[in-house]
Amino acid sequence: MNDTSDAFALTPVGHIESDYPDKFGIPRQPGLADAARARLVLLSPFDDPLAVRGLEAFSHLWLTFVFHLSPERWTPLVRPPRLGGNAKVGVFASRSTHRPNRLGLSLVELENIDTRDGVCLTLRGADLVDGTPVLDIKPYLPWAEARPEARAGFAPAAPTALPVSLAPAAEAALCARPDGDSLRALIHQVLAQDPRPAYRKGAEERVYGVRLRDVDVRFRAVVEGSGIVQLRVLTVVPCE
């Protein structure tokens, strides 16, 4: 009988370069911010173009990665944001980063494969922080892996998106950038997921900051005339 307690040595096949310099603000699932762009740069000896031959025929990929910025500890019970940050469920009934082996799984869209100098995959809709080590790449098979009849427990549907608005100063800053349109879309999609702590869902005076690409986006929650909470972007300034 094999000793299942033996440790396994895992070697990253590449690393992520993404629009998310920090963990805060990253959508909690892939695909919720499809304006997010990322590159997966393969490392030697996995950067052989032969290793990705045929991958261009697939539109989406599964990435197995390491939550490298999470503490090297795990807990049997976690507090999912979808339950308001109060109720607890078992770690294996969640997608918490505090896992025994810190492994994550992300479904991303493949936009391009560049093999001119090593191998670089251009991705869309990724939910991975910059620098994330990727352990494996597998093509997504919709006929095998898309199961619309499956039950989704305490997360039966995508989270409700909050409306997002930009103050004039923030809009002016975006208009002055060559990537202003794509960055504006990214800001809207990220903030619509409400990156604030799960227990803070109403309007409040506190100003939050989320780093996207090379800017610091400052925002706070306000109440519209209709009584609906929205996130108001106050400033978009270069990161210090």
Q: Domain residue spans in the chain?
A: 14-145, 164-238
Report the chain's mean pLDDT, rounded to a whole number. 92
From the candidate CATH numbers 3.40.30, 3.30.2310, 3.30.70, 3.40.1360, the one assigned to the domain spanning 164-238: 3.30.2310
Task: Please tell me which residue, 203 or 50, carries the higher pLDDT value.
Answer: 50
CATH architecture, domain 14-145: Beta Barrel (2.40)
Give the mean pLDDT of 83-87: 84
Distance set, CA 148 to CA 38, 60, 151, 156 (Å): 28, 17, 8, 11
d(CA 34, CA 149): 24
Q: For 154-173, what is each residue's pLDDT tens digit?
A: 888 888 899 999 999 999 99
How is residue 4 written in tokens? 């299942």
Same fold, 14-145 and 164-238: no
Measure the CA–CA gap between 39 and 16, rounded to whole angstroms.
6
**Residue 192, both tokens:** 């619509």
Inform me whether the pLDDT recorded for 109 exceeds 80: yes
Higher-scoring residue by pLDDT: 153, 201 = 153
Beta bridge partners of 65: 104, 134
| Total H helices, total E strands in the chain | 3, 12
**Going by C-beta distance under 8 Å and a sequence separation of 6 or more, which residues neighbour residue 239?**
21, 211, 214, 215, 216
pTM of the predicted model as reported, rounded to 2 decimal places: 0.91
Of the pLDDT bands very low, low, confident and very high (cuts 50, 70, 90), residue 56 is: very high
